[in-house]
Chain A
Amino acid sequence: MSTIKVNALGDTCPIPVVKAKNAIRELDGPGQVEVLVDNEIAVQNLTKMANQKGYGVSSQKMEEQRYCVVMTIGEMGGETKAAAAQGAVTPEGSGMPAQETEQNGGTCAPDARRNIVVVISSDTMGNGDETLGRMLMKGFIFALTQQDLLPSTILFYNGGAKLTCEEALTLEDLRSLEAQGVEILTCGTCLNHYGLTEKLSVGGVTNMYAIVEKMTQAEQVVRP
């Protein structure tokens, strides 16, 4: 499958999208387009386009002001099943063709992410003072956004469910993680229990089966 790399560093919206569209036209069939941009909003606008067009899309923060968005275009101009699987976050070394990895040369590989699952079961971090605990948790989630290696999924349950809802101080950081392709999932039973179902503001809702599956399939589970 051919890959076209697009450098849109220093470009303001809509230029990254325009460049990506030109590259997709150039592909003229199935393939991948990798777009380098320097801001998260551009990542979101590119992701929005890919979703509307039915392309596979994943994104990753490489370093400060350097993000890589990978779009996978299928046979029909849209996303094929195989392309979807490739575009999605996969554990290291699984499923990606060897040539592809070489070609990417580590600069912009969508699968550089290992399957790390972060589990957040409370709105505080550690035991002791509650105010301090809440502050630490906010700090933890901010620090997550700054990691080179982002988790593939963050699971929120019990008191953790409060962190993905309206008015939580962690929302902005969580949205930033989501924009970089991290899956944010909150336990539906927990939201219901706390009366927060209508207030969920980032990510999706999940259930116990999915939580168990995510945790058992993870290469590493991180609990603050």
Chain B
Amino acid sequence: MSEKIVFCRGGGCTAKLGAGVLSRILERLPKGPEDPRLLIGYDSRDDAAVYQLTEDLAIVQTLDFFPPMVEDPYLFGQIAAANALSDVYAMGGSVKTALNIVCFPETMDLNILGEIMRGGAEKVMEAGGILSGGHSIADSDVKYGLSVTGVVHPAHIYPNNQGRPGDKLILTKKLGVGIVCTANRVQQASKASMEEAVASMTMLNKYASEISRSYEIHACTDVTGFGFLGHLHEMMDGRLSCRIDADRIGVIAGALDYADEFLLTAGGQRNRNFAGPYVKFENVSFAMEEVLFDPQTSGGLLMAVRADQADALLSGLLECGHPASLVGEIIQKNETEIHVRGGIS
């Protein structure tokens, strides 16, 4: 399949609205009566909403769609689906059903849409879910994604902000897919870099999430549009601090070089504006800073795990083929929320 999606112009999670803008709107929305069964809503800015149905069953709902970030429609479908499904895994849940969300120009070749949806359907199957419907709109630009429903035991939900001082932080995928896709847009990414980025984006977080369930995970989120540091800032929840070892963070090949060429997204700069004030860098190169702010499409899971279980969890993830690494630890809140250091290991 080599048909080009001509509308590919900086898609994926780089197309997300900035966190700063968004939180101002959300804070002003009218709030209805409180329902105690809504265990996680957007007050906590978590990855998905969780609503308790019975004592031992809660549903996880999430929705994600975006413009293409790659030119191959089939791969775009896979990536968009993996990204949408990921929110359920970030909550510790299992996928049950999914609905397609499609925006597509009427004048465009429908075979392209077929390829996008084939990619999406395959990922839903791999997730063990059922594609059960959808909705399509004629639009000037291509956009695709899923609305996903999953289930989770109410006692085993992974919140994104309940980490504890002492917890180790594990990241299950490498960073830099946003920068690599951006470089690819201006024909400056190598084939190998782009292939590594695509492989990373199409990989489901299902396996990492399942492996982690044998361990005590205090907080978990998937790293997407707000970048590693933006999501980490949300995880710190204003009451924790952390130390990050920059050298241990996996980076997609080429991403640092492209960052040094300033092939950067608007999203990355918005993330810097949003999370930058909470971060102190020490011995970290400009390129690595950019990678840490880079918006990730279908990024990995960032987990805060009980310290004495971190090594076992990490080996489990590595055995399963995840390019996971132990990237830092949560500490008591101090004047620096996120302290990123290079050259220490």
Seen from chain A, the residues whose Cβ lies within 8 Å of a Cβ on chain B are 12-15, 17-18, 21, 39, 41-42, 44-45, 48-49, 52, 166, 172, 175, 198, 201
Q: Closest 5 interchain pairs by CB?
A: A13-B266, A41-B266, A49-B262, A198-B335, A17-B262
B288 lies within 8 A of chain A by Cβ: no
Contact A17 B266 (CB under 8 A): no
Contact assessment for A12 and B262 in the assembled complex, using a CB-CB cutoff below 8 Å: no
Closest residue to B18 on the A side, CB-wise? A41
**Chain A nearest CB, measured from B62 CB (Å):** 27
Residues of chain A within 8 A of B269, CB atoms compared:
13, 41, 44-45, 48
| A13 close to B277 (CB less than 8 A) | no
- In angstroms, Cα B186 to Cα A13, docked, is 10
Residue contact B277 to A14, C-beta cutoff 8 Å:
no
Per DSSP, chain A at the interface is helix
Interface size, chain B (Cβ < 8 Å)? 19
Expressed in whole angstroms, the Cα–Cα distance for A13 and B286 within the complex equals 18
Q: For the A-B complex with A52-B286, A198-B335 known, give 4 more contacts whose Cβ atoms are closer than 8 Å.
A: A13-B265, A41-B266, A48-B269, A52-B262
CA distance A192 to B335 in the complex (A): 14
Docked complex: B242-296 residues within 8 A CB-CB of A:
261-266, 269-270, 272-273, 277, 286
Question: What are 8 A-B pairs with beta-carbon distances under 8 A?
Answer: A13-B266, A39-B266, A41-B269, A48-B269, A52-B286, A166-B277, A172-B20, A175-B273
User: In the complex the two chains form, what is the Cα distance from A172 to B21 in whole Å?
Assistant: 10
Which B residues are CB-close (under 8 A) to A198? 335
**Contact in complex: B266, A45 (CB < 8 Å):** yes
Any chain A CB within 8 A of the CB of B159?
no
Identify B264's interface contact among A13, A21, A39, A175, CB under 8 A: A13
By a CB distance below 8 angstroms, the chain A residues around B264 are 13-14, 17, 45, 48
Chain A min CB distance to B5 (Å): 16
Known contacts A52-B286, A175-B273, A201-B277, A21 near B186 by CB under 8 Å: no
Which of chain B's residues has its CB closest to A42's CB?
Answer: B266
Closest to A41 in B: B266
Interface status of B10 (Cβ within 8 A of chain A): yes
Is the CB–CB distance between B262 and A14 below 8 Å? yes
CB–CB A17/B263 < 8 A: yes
Residues of A within 8 A of B185 (CB): 14
Nearest opposing residue in chain B for A165, CB measure: B277
Q: Name, among B20, B182, B186, B264, the residue most crowded by chain A CB atoms within 10 Å (CB to CB).
A: B264
Q: Are A14 and B186 in contact (CB under 8 A)?
A: yes
Residue of chain B at shortest CB distance from A21:
B262
| Cα distance, A49 to B264, chains bound together (Å) | 10
Residue among B10, B262, B265 having the largest count of chain A Cβ atoms under 10 Å: B262
B263 and A18 form a contact (CB under 8 A): yes
Q: Which chain A residue shows the least CB distance to B21?
A: A172
CB-CB < 8 A to B261: which residues of A? Answer: 21
Across the interface, which residues of A come within 8 angstroms of B339, CB to CB? none
B273's partner among A13, A15, A44, A166 (CB-CB below 8 A) is: A44
* Cβ-based interface call for B9 (8 A): yes
CB distance A15 to B277 under 8 Å? no
CB-defined contacts of B272 to chain A, threshold 8 Å: 44
Asked if residues B20 and A13 are in contact (CB atoms below 8 Å), the reply is no
A41 touches B270 (CB 8 A): yes
* Complex Cα gap A106–B269 (Å): 29
A14-B263 contact, Cβ under 8 Å, with A52-B286, A172-B20, A198-B335: yes
Kindly list chain A residues whose C-beta atoms are within 8 Å of the C-beta of B10. Answer: 12-13
CA distance A41 to B335 in the complex (A): 28
- A14–B273 CB distance below 8 A: no
Per the bound structure, the CA–CA distance linking A12 and B268 in Å amounts to 13
**Judging by beta carbons under 8 Å apart, are B186 and A18 in contact?**
yes
Please, which residues of chain A bring their CB within 8 A of the CB of B273? 44, 175
Chain B, residues 174-210, CB within 8 Å of chain A (1/0): the string is 0000000010011000000000000000000000000
Question: How far is it, in angstroms, between the C-alpha of A99 and the C-alpha of B219 when the chains are bound?
Answer: 61
- How many angstroms between the C-alpha atoms of A21 and B272 in the bound complex? 22
A18 to B335: give the CA distance in the assembly, Å.
38
Residues of chain B with a CB closer than 8 A to A41's CB: 266, 269-270
